Amino acid sequence: MNRLTLDRAKSLLAAARDINVLVVGDLMLDVYLQGTALRISPEAPVPVVRVEEEWRALGGAANVASNIVVLGSDCTLCGVVGRDKSGDVLRDELEGAGIGTAGLVPLNRPTTVKTRVLARHHQIARYDHELDDDITPAEAAHVVERIAGLASKADVIIIEDYNKGVLVRDVIEGCRSAAQQHGIPLVVDPKSRFFFDYHGAAVFKPNMPELAAALRERVQPDDAEWMEETRRRLGCENLLLTLGEEGMALMSSSGEHVRVPTVARAVHDVSGAGDTVIAVVAVALAAGATVVEAAVLANHAAGIEVGKAGVATVTPEELLASIELSRAATA
């Protein structure tokens, strides 16, 4: 599929260095405990893991932000953190990664932390500290206030929903209003709740299981009429449906229906691939890409990300190498 030349990709990635992205959504801190399990506990039939290494990573909407700054763009996060030690750690991790924290709203609820226990690189347990109740209307008003203050400097707004209670209707409407007021694209990675509340989004990017569950019907990505009907039903300008190992399907407001086949050469771990896709799509659109070019570039990014272990980011150099390799393979 020759919808994005190497020179065009270089131009877009160069322009990305002047882009400012506002990401609104659920923030998480990922903690990994890795070691060896050589015996079973005498207390219960579970392995005893001797922890030899511990590290932290940014998760949820914070991982989207990580992908954006690796592409060379500026990024500010808007979401909630707890008034706890984990909230301080998350803020430090964000600032260390070069991600703006002016949009963080501290609340009296725990910071979402997902701790994974690994033995010989295999996950054997995960435990979560979180509260996924909806934030209150007063708390939502604080988040909307931050969105309104930060949107004037943004070239694109991303909504990244993980069903952790931040993206209530007032916050969604705050994002829509800010994008409309400043004439910038709104790019949405939804979850099941409030699925139909994103009318006017420039790009709406569900995956196939999410869309099937929301519509309660079989998804038909190869049927242009079905895709157009679904796009109109969702009220978005462009519907970008991710299909895992089958790539993507795009239905644009101009009537263009495009199937983007996967470029993944090896699948090691699909964790975080959706975060990478939404980050690349948003940055590319803000840099001047057409929605088809943005989808193709994001498809290359996803193919690279799933070839890495765990949640990972993708560099501009890796993207250009992937495009060049695909061009050579079809020459």
The catalytic residue positions are: 275
CB under 8 Å, gap of 24 or more: what pairs does 302-305 form?
302/242, 302/262, 302/264, 302/273, 302/276, 302/277, 303/262, 303/263, 303/264, 303/265, 305/272, 305/273, 305/276
User: Over 47-86, what HEC string results?
Assistant: EEEEEEEEEEEEEEHHHHHHHHHHCCCEEEEEEEEECCHH
Q: What are phi and psi of 319, to 5 degrees?
A: -65, -45
Rounded CA gap, 225 and 221, in Å?
10
Question: Is there a contact between 229 and 221 (Cβ–Cβ < 8 Å)?
Answer: no
Residue tagged 């948003």 (tokens)? 282
Amino acid identity, residue 251? M
Question: Is there a contact between 125 and 243 (Cβ–Cβ < 8 Å)?
Answer: no
Question: How far is residue 112 CA from its own chain's centroid?
Answer: 16
